[in-house]
Structure 1
Amino acid sequence: MKYIYLAILMFISPLTLSAEAFNIKASAEQVSPLLPGLTVPNSQVLNPQGKALSTDSLFAKKPTVLVVYRGGWCPFCSRQLMGLQQITSKLEALGLQVVAISPEKPSVLKTSKLGAGYQLLSDIDLSFSQKMGLAFYLEDKTAQIYRDKLGVNFVGIDGKTQVALPVPAVFLIDTRAMVHFQYTNPNYKVRLSNDVLLSAAQQMIKDTQAL
């Protein structure tokens, strides 16, 4: 069955998206992120120029720090991504690449001030977030607040208005697309610290080198 939903966007013209809802939970607390040891299903994401990229080919280049975020409109996401720049050079020195993916449309990423030193990519239909086990529907009251204060657009789903987002998450993924570390928190205000991320990245590199 096809559902229609709209990824949250800010300060852009109205956009309606049609996509298949195959793994969107009713709340952030119900999501089931991919666990360490599991392989990330291949998916298509878009670069800021709108070109489709395969996640398998993306991860095959280098071990990856993957950040899934809600959008640049979210102050907690912006703070996380800007803070990540402080350790990007250390992560790259370990041989990792940093990739950040959100539902924002490519043109928004193209003009974003975030992501200096790493890649910003678009999961505009939330298919990747669904495969990662992160997608959920906002409850109506919160969705109404987002619409009124952020200019969020909605379309009807079976007579209702809904919006889907990913729970913010950080993954460490090797070149075979296998997850080595995962952090998610239904409370979008709580984010992984740089110190913990750097320590986990160092451990992943040791583990993969020992194989």
Structure 2
Amino acid sequence: MPPVYRGHWCPFCQAYLKQLQSLTKSITAAGGYVLTVTAESESELHKIRETTGYDGETIVDTENLLATELRRRGIIDVAVSEKTGYPNGMAQPAVLVGTKAKVVYKWAIKPSVDRPSLKEVWENAEAEMQGKKPVHTEIPLLSFVQGLKQKLFG
């Protein structure tokens, strides 16, 4: 389950990574592998770890090579926006869940602030991998305000 996040400065990304950290045990217990991807400089990585408690693997892709390859293969279209401090652009938030055989869930933001709940994404992905029906028929997008509440109040 690799979420793409903007950077340590993004409060919504901070809340998202806190949520991801809380799901890590469940994901790895199911045989999953958790990592994050960012176009932010590696020198900033410690800040997001301190803020969120996320201690998993992170791919630092300042050239957005992964986003380009995923788009080229038709897997997911991770948006890349211009942003000061990101010489090759800033990858926008995205979520990709899959097995070796198939993509189970994918979502990519088209520059906005709303995004799906990782808990609900994981519950549906886990059900699908077990051959069960989805737990959630729809995965609502969390608003910016909901994201701030998660960041502030957990």
Alignment check: 8 A CA contact 1:109 1:121 kept = no
In the superposition, the TM-score normalised over structure 2's length comes to 0.67
Distance 1:196 1:115, change over 3 A: same
- Deviations, residues 120-172 of structure 1 (Å, cap 9, x unaligned): 2201111111222313334xxxx5xxxxxxxx3477xxxxxxx6222211111
Structure 2 distance, partners of 1:103, 1:172, is 20
Q: Which residue of 2 aligns with 1:129?
A: 67
Q: What are the within-5 Å matches in structure 2 for residues 24-43 of structure 1?
A: none
Structure showing the higher helix proportion among its residues = 2
Distance 1:93 1:109, change over 3 A: same
Distance 1:82 1:195, change over 3 A: closer
Match of 2:39 among 103, 111, 119: 103
Q: Which has the larger radius of gyration?
A: 1
2:11 alignment partner AA:
P
Q: Which residue of 1 aligns with 2:124?
A: 200
2:100 alignment partner AA:
T
Q: Which residue of 1 aligns with 2:141?
A: none
Structure 2 distance, partners of 1:79, 1:105, is 20
Q: RMSD between aligned alpha carbons? A: 2.4
Alignment check: 8 A CA contact 1:70 1:167 kept = yes
Q: What are the within-5 Å matches in structure 2 for residues 42-191 of structure 1?
A: 65-110=1-46, 112-113=49-50, 114=52, 116-132=54-70, 133-138=77-82, 143=83, 152-153=84-85, 164-175=89-100, 178-191=102-115
Q: Secondary structure at the match of 1:203?
A: helix
Alignment check: 8 A CA contact 1:106 1:121 kept = no
Give me the identity figure in percent. 24
- Deviations, residues 26-77 of structure 1 (Å, cap 9, x unaligned): xxxxxxxxxxxxxxxxxxxxxxxxxxxxxxxxxxxxxxx1111111121111
Distance 1:179 1:104, change over 3 A: same
Structure 2 distance, partners of 1:80, 1:119, is 15
- Deviations, residues 97-138 of structure 1 (Å, cap 9, x unaligned): 111000022232245324624212201111111222313334
Q: Secondary structure at the match of 2:40?
A: coil
Q: How many residues align?
A: 123
Distance 1:110 1:195, change over 3 A: closer
Gaps of 5+ in 2: 71-76, 132-154
Q: Could you say which structure has the greater relative contact order, defined with CA pairs below 8 angstroms and 6 or more residues apart?
A: 1
